[in-house]
A and B are shown apart, each in its own frame.
Chain A
Amino acid sequence: MLMMKNWYKNVYHKLFHLDDRLLLIIAGSVTGVFSGLASVVLRLSLESALKWLHPFQQYWWAFVFPGIGALLSSFYLEKIAREGAGHGVPEVIYSVSRYGGLLRFRSSYSRIISSLLTIGSGGSAGPEAPVVMSGSSIGSSIAKLLGLNDRQRITLVGCGTAGAIASIFNAPIAGLVFAVEVILGEWKFVNIIPIAIAAVAGTEISQAIIPEQVIFNHQMFKVGFYDILPSLCLAVVTALISVLFTKALRQTGKIAKKTPFSLWTRAIIGGCVVGIMGMFMPVVLGEGYHFIQSMISGTFAMGGFIVFLAVFAKIFATAVTLGWGGSGGIFAPCLVIGSLAGIAFHNVMSGLFPSIECASQGAYALLGMTGIISGVMQAPLTGIFLIVEITGGYETILPLIIVSSLSSTMSHYIEPASFYFKELIERGQFLRPGTDARILSDLNISEIIETDYSKVSENMVFREFIELLKNSHQHFFPVIEDNTGEYRGIIQISAIRKYALDPGMYNMIFLNQIMDTEVITASLENDLQEVLDMMDINNMDTIPVVENDWFIGMISKTRILDLYRRELIMQTSV
């Protein structure tokens, strides 16, 4: 037994005292494998669910399927998994920003099950955000198991994200870029290598289990000089649609909460509405990958005006699915909306300028997808790499860059926060590494407080205080009540000069006569940002901290600056 214990200690010691980067690479690849497995499980389950329900889709009552799916999904999330329902990706970003990537273990499976119920029954949503949530949670759990620190845990959360995205789209570069651009928000050498390896591990595991997995077949596109100007116009169109989609997603959820219906009724109503829409326009149902494939390959059979309508129908269906109780992500809907928008744009352009030799409908579907992904997520690199990787459309790289960068810039101009970030920004919780808000939030108020202050009694005679002053370097003296020790006020040396220069007053006054009782005080409950605001408004360099009438200490701007610099160096060092 003792030998076993020693052996275990030895192995543990060797493994966890490895070089930091090596440890992260090993843990990252394990995370990538598990998050890849999670996305494979979801993909296979979705395929089975859709296959199983397919024979019933011909019946008129099939519109209830998305309703039942949404009901089961919300019931599962609320009553069984007891997740506080959210979109998923913002929760990961929030945890990375605020709590060093700590995520609940239950999130590693709960969103997979709930999104399977929603999407498998026909709800308009994508499986990507759930697998991101799952992969991130797996990364976080592995980090907890290994007892890693916050920085290492955040890297593993990124590894989980990258592995999941890489696996579901068979696109390792897109996985890496999404993890760094959207989730972590920082390009650091120490992060990139483990995340890249996790993305490769995720892709490999998915290819090993589903070798035939290719979401979209590669096509050859001929893109020329004449496509540059239309690309610019398409970027404007996709930016506007992105803003509309973002607003629709947010507003529908708010409207749903204002209705008198229960969560369950809302889920059924929302799902059934999508089901009814799907009977007339099947492109709105599910994740819609096969529709995207037909749009890219130029075999999409819908007429021009119907395609135009389908853009708005898909936006509405996704907003209703996610806002009224369903579970899933917006990645796949973005791709469907983008490809529909691209085709609609191509149709309009061909109608107006029939003589121009521009690229095929399929190429514009790709450009549309990039435009919407970049506009909604305001992540241009993710948009470019994802589309290039999943479609193999390297010939379209130049217009892709134009559409992606212009669409994300324009949508950022109209709507400064992306869909993923908006809620966090509104709550003041969007804290990217190296930013002022993040540094201030990472500084603990208790480490900033200087507690080494001598307190004085309110009944102390001024002469005694002068004697005390002779041997003290303090500029502030907290005054306390004799019996209870409660804080009464403060004596600031600069404010009592007139008494100190008049020895005749020394025996005539007590400290409670000259102390300042009006000084603004901070409490341990305040954030550092609040404390700084209080100091700025009241033009103070030092503020007393008082909690439950007890003097705790003082906070000075000098001390804040010292710790701020230390934290900034730590967060921005490679």
Chain B
Amino acid sequence: MNYKLLHIFRNTPFGRETFLQSLYFCKTINAFPVAYIPKSDKFLMYFPNDAVQVDLDHSYLRSPETAKDNAQGLFNEMGIKPMFYEPKNFTASSLPDISTNFDYLCCPRSVSDLSSRIGLGHIGPKVRRIIKHATFPVLITSPVYKPWKSISVFFGGSKNALSALRAGLKISMSSGLPMSIYTLLEKKGESYFRQLIEKNGLEEPVSQFSSQWHFYKKHDFDTLLYDVPHDSLIVLGAYGHGIIKDILLGSKMEHIQSTVTNNLLITGPHCSISLR
């Protein structure tokens, strides 16, 4: 196992919480956290079909003289070998290119919106774009450090949901923590979902690692959210709606993240996860 998680370090109390969350995530699944301490308020991530510029809010550049020591202290506290990321390439002198060659990326709910940096707020547009183009799952942390003891996968049957299920299984395998699946029955019945899993060759790992599969009726979505244990890592696929559908019908991902305070691991449409 040589999975790596990239964490954009913020040298503030809130940043400490999210970093501890990343460290805990890595420790639990035996991955290596890599901290990037930004020196400018923006950076570029080149994905296969898009260049996403991430504009950081100014709190990311606070107290640069203590940032590395503080990050190192947190690494030590969790007993993890410190690793820092230094960008090699620059699109412009103040615009570093950050590698997308990671297995996970940790994002707060928004990286460029001061108003929602502590509360749940909305998922910022940059974080959404990263999720849309990333080939890796994105970890959206809870506002405070909150170790999780189980894994909850939201499985709605879409391609992204299958990726989420694979991600959940993978985390369950590497962490040894129990996994539960939550499905909202909208148009299809239970048998459809079971067949879908079978068709995708996931029946065996699901039966091996998943302790329970909960089904809810169409209008019980909020009940589903309440039933998810507060100390569980929620793994879900990004719902691939376009912007118009999101505006008209509301974004499900937005609803989930603004309702629950759990850590979320989101798999986007380009996320490819192998169980090997």
Contacts and interface: CB of A to CB of B under 8 A. Distances in A.
The 5 closest A-B pairs by CB, nearest first: A84-B95, A84-B92, A86-B92, A102-B51, A84-B94
A548 B81 contact: yes
B101 A91 contact: no
A457 to B, nearest CB: 18
A106 B50 CA distance: 12
14 contacts: A82-B41, A82-B55, A84-B42, A84-B93, A84-B95, A86-B92, A99-B51, A102-B50, A104-B44, A144-B50, A527-B88, A548-B4, A548-B81, A548-B83
B49 A147 contact: yes
Contacts of A82: 41-42, 53, 55
B115 interface: no
Interface residues of A, number: 25
Given A83-B92, A95-B51, A103-B51, 4 more contacts: A85-B94, A102-B51, A106-B53, A550-B1
A95 B95 CA distance: 13
Interface string A95-130: 100110011101000000000000000000000000
Contacts of A99: 46, 51
A86 B93 contact: yes
A567 interface: no
A91 B50 CA distance: 15
**Of A102, A144, A446, which is in contact with the most chain B CB atoms at under 10 Å from its CB?**
A102
A524 interface: yes
Contact of B89 (A83, A98, A102): A98
A446 B102 CA distance: 12
A186 interface: no
Interface string B150-168: 0000000000000000000
Interface string B18-46: 00000000000000100000001110101
Nearest to A87: B92
Contacts of A527: 88
B81 A104 contact: no
B188 to A, nearest CB: 18
B91 interface: yes
Contacts of A98: 89
Given A82-B42, A548-B81, A104 B94 contact: no
Contact of A91 (B32, B55, B92): B92
Interface string A408-451: 00000000000000000001010000000000000000100000
A550 B2 contact: yes
Nearest to B94: A84
B90 interface: yes
A548 B50 CA distance: 30
Contacts of A552: 2
Contact of B91 (A94, A106, A548, A550): A94
| Most chain B beta-carbon neighbours within 10 Å: one of A84, A102, A147 | A84
A547 interface: yes
Contacts of B55: 82
A167 B10 CA distance: 46
A435 B237 CA distance: 41
A85 B88 CA distance: 18
A103 B83 CA distance: 30
Interface in A381-431: 427, 429
B87 to A, nearest CB: 11
Interface in A264-311: none
A68 B89 CA distance: 33
Contacts of A94: 91
A477 to B, nearest CB: 19
A144 B52 CA distance: 12
B32 A85 contact: no
Interface string B86-108: 00111111110000010000000
A527 B89 CA distance: 11
Q: Looking at B1, B40, B42, B51, which has the most chain A CB atoms within 10 Å of its CB?
A: B51
A103 B49 CA distance: 10
